[in-house]
Amino acid sequence: MSEWMAATVEGPGLKPTESIGALRGAEAPRSLRETKRGVPQRLKPPSSGGLYGTAKAVPLSETIGMGAIAGEAIVPGAKAQVRDEFIMPGLKSRPISEPQVLADDGDVTPFDKLREECGVMAVYGHPDAARMTYWGLYALQHRGQESAGIASADGVEVNDIKGMGLVSEIFTDEVLAKLPGHIAIGHTRYSTTGDSALLNAQPISVESTMGLIAIAHNGNLVNLGNSKERLERDGAVFQTTSDSEIIVQLIAHSRCNTLVDCIAESLAQVDGAFSIVMMTRNRIFAARDPHGFRPLSMGRIAGVNGEPDTFVFASETCAFDLLHAKYERDVRPGELVMVSEDGVTSRRFAPETVPHASCIFEHVYFARPDSRIFGRWVQQSREEMGRQLARESPAEADLVVPVPDSGVTAALGYAAESGIPFNFGLIRNHYVGRTFIQPEQRTRDFGVRMKLNPMRSLLEGKRIILIDDSIIRGTTSRKIVRMCRAAGAAEVHMRISCPPTISPCFYGVDTPSTRELIAANKSVEEIREFVEADSLAYLSLVGLTHSCTTGESATGLSPASFCTACYTGVYPTQWVDVEDILPATVGA
Ligand code: SF4
C-alpha cells in the first residue's frame, strides 16, 4: 500500500492546462494519456506518480519540475506543493506537508460506492433566475461535489461563474449578485472524462455565429471518433478537455440556418449519454440522448399577478420542490425542448424507434428517494427492491439493519415483507468528508469507524440482516461486517438490493475497471468469504427490473427500457474500453 500525500486548493483562478501538459508528458497513469477518443479518460489510482480521482496534480519530479495542484489531489509517493503563482486572490490553499493516509485504506469513494457525475438545472422566466438555479443545484449536490457553475442572461448579455467546491461555498449572495437576468443554467460536477479542475467546470460557453451558447451536460459521450480533430481542422479552439464541449463546438460550427436546426443536427451526430441544458442570451434548450440514459425533468412555477409562468429543468425532481415548481413531465429521449418568449416548443432530433436505456442505477442508488426519475418515484422502487430481496433471499434473523443512508429504503421494504423488525443498528456521521488519517490508525478500520458507529445495544447477541445497495470492491463491506460482529452481532447476513456489479459504466458514472470490481472476479460465495458474512445474497436482475416497473407510478416503463450494463456487460452502444476488457487480475 502506497503512502499518500495530500494537498487541497480551493477556489477559482488555477492554471490547469500546465498540469495537463505535464501529466501527459510524464509518468501519467495509463488512463490519463491520450486515448483513441482524443481526450484523457477516467482518472484512476496510479501505481506511481500522477494523480488520483477528483483532481489533477503534478508531482515535483515531473516534467514541469514542480508541484501544481488543482482542486483536491492525492499524490502517492510524490511531494506535492502549491505554488503561489497558481493561486489567485481569494483562493484558499491548504497544503498538508506531512505524509498522511486516506481513510479506508484507499477506498476514496465514500462507502466504496459508484459516483454520479453531474446534475444540471435550468430556469427560464424568473427575475432572479440565478438564485433559483442555485437552489436547484443545492438540491442536486449529491450528483457531484467537485465543482459547480451558473450562467445567466438578461436578454442581452450572458455571464457565468464557476468554482471548485460545494454549491453553497461558491455561490454566496455577493457572487449571485453578479449573475443578473431571467434566464440561467447551472451544473454541479464530478468528472468522468477530462480532468477534474476548474478548467472543465460547467457551464461551458462558446461563441458562435449565432451568439454565445452555454451548455451544462450530465452524461458521457462515446464513439466520438475523430470529431474533435475534425472540429479543430474547422477552426474550433477547445477550451476544455471535457467531452461536453464537443456538443457545443458542433453547434457553433454547424452550417444550418437556425440555431434550433444547428442544435438538432449536432445532437444527432453524437452518441452516448447526454441530458443537457443550454442557453443563449434569450433562450433555454433542454435535450436528452435518444437512449434516455440520464434523467431530465421539466417543471413549472405558476406566475403570480398575471406574470408569465417560470419554466425549470432539472436532473431530479427534488430540485423542483425547493422552488415550489410543479413537475410537468420528463424531457423525452431524443427530444429537444426550447423555451423562449414565444413559449415552449419541442422537436425530435432522433427517431422514436431508438431503444430506451435509462440507467437503472439511478433507482438503485444515485437519485434521491424523494425524486421522480424516468417518471417513477425512486422511493417506491427502492422499497420494492427490499421486498423482492426478502422474497428471493430470506434469512432467519432478529433484526434488519440498513447501511445508511442508501440502504435505508430497501431495508424498510425487506423488513416489511419479512416481518423482521427494522432498526438503525449503524449510525452515520454526516459530517465526515474526505478525511486523512495517520498511518498507525489505518490498521484498525479507522476510516469506516469515523463514518459509521454501531449501536451495541441493538446489535448485541442478535442475528442481523445487513442491507446495502451494492458491493463494489468489497473492502468497505468487510469492514462493516467486522464492525457489526465487534459490536456483538451473533450472525451477519448481507443482502444487496441489486445484482452483482460486473462491468464498468461508460455513460456518466465513475466506476472502477473490471479488474477492481469484486463481482467481476469472484463468485457470490467467494465474495461472502471475502466480506466475512454468514450469508450473502444479491437481488436478481429480473427482481430489480420488476421492482422498478411494478405498481402505480410505472407509467410507460418496462424492464427492457432500462440500461443494466453494469450487471450484465451488455451495453446499449457499441463502444468498449480496451483497458476494461483486459483479463481480470484482482485478488483479495
Ligand atoms: Fe447506469 Fe450501469 Fe448503465 Fe451505467 S452501465 S448507465 S450505471 S445501468
Q: Give the Cα separation of 449 and 451 in Å (integer).
A: 5
Q: Give the Cα separation of 30 and 139 in Å (integer).
A: 35
Phi and psi dihedrals of 345, rounded to 5?
Answer: -125, 160
Q: Kindly give the distance from the C-alpha atom of residue 219 to the centroid of ligand 1, in angstroms, as a whole number.
A: 11
Q: Which three-class secondary structure state does DSSP give residue 588?
A: coil
Q: Which residue has the cell 425549470?
A: 312
Query: Given this model, what pLDDT does residue 129 score?
Result: 98
- Residue 509 Cβ inside 6 Å of ligand 1? The answer reads yes
Nearest residue (by CA) to ligand 1, atom 6, is: 359
Query: Given this model, what pLDDT does residue 406 score?
Result: 85
- Residue 507 Cβ inside 6 Å of ligand 1? The answer reads yes
The mean pLDDT values, 10 residues at a time, for the chain of 588 residues are: 27 30 28 27 29 32 28 31 26 30 38 73 97 97 92 94 92 96 94 64 88 91 77 84 86 91 93 94 97 97 92 97 95 97 96 94 94 94 98 98 94 98 93 60 70 94 97 93 97 98 88 88 97 98 95 74 94 61 34
Query: Given this model, what pLDDT does residue 408 score?
Result: 96
Task: Tell me whether residue 579 is exposed, middle or buried, using C-beta atoms within 10 angstroms of its C-beta: 0 to 12, 13 to 18, 19 or more.
Answer: middle
Nearest to 190 by CA among 218, 170, 228: 218
Q: Kindly give the distance from the C-alpha atom of residue 4 to the centroid of ligand 1, in angstroms, as a whole number.
A: 31
Q: Kindly give the distance from the C-alpha atom of residue 579 to the centroid of ligand 1, in angstroms, as a whole number.
A: 18
Q: Give the Cα separation of 72 and 515 in Å (integer).
A: 25
User: Could you give the count of Cα atoms lying within 13 Å of 74 in the half-sphere of its Cβ?
Assistant: 22
Q: Kindly give the distance from the C-alpha atom of residue 138 to the centroid of ligand 1, in angstroms, as a whole number.
A: 24
Residue 249 backbone class (left: φ over 0; alpha: ψ -120 to 50; beta: rest): alpha
Q: Kindly give the distance from the C-alpha atom of residue 162 to the centroid of ligand 1, in angstroms, as a whole number.
A: 28
- Residue 359 Cβ inside 6 Å of ligand 1? The answer reads yes
- Residue 563 Cβ inside 6 Å of ligand 1? The answer reads yes
Query: Given this model, what pLDDT does residue 377 score?
Result: 94
Is 118 annotated as catalytic?
A: yes
Question: Ligand 1 pocket test: which of 221, 360, 514 has the largest number of ligand atoms within 8 Å of its C-beta?
Answer: 360
Residue 192 in grid coordinates = 468522468
- Residue 360 Cβ inside 6 Å of ligand 1? The answer reads yes
Question: Ligand 1 pocket test: which of 358, 361, 470 has the largest number of ligand atoms within 8 Å of its C-beta?
Answer: 361
Q: Give the Cα separation of 3 and 89 in Å (integer).
A: 32
Nearest to 151 by CA among 126, 117, 123, 125: 123
Whole-angstrom CA distances from 36 to 57, 60, 100 are: 23, 29, 36
- Residue 564 Cβ inside 6 Å of ligand 1? The answer reads yes
Computed on alpha carbons and rounded to an integer, the radius of gyration of the chain in Å comes to 23
Please identify, by atom number, the ligand 1 atom nearest to the C-alpha of residue 504.
5
Whole-angstrom CA distances from 53 to 18, 236, 584 are: 18, 29, 21
Nearest to 94 by CA among 6, 1, 2, 34: 6
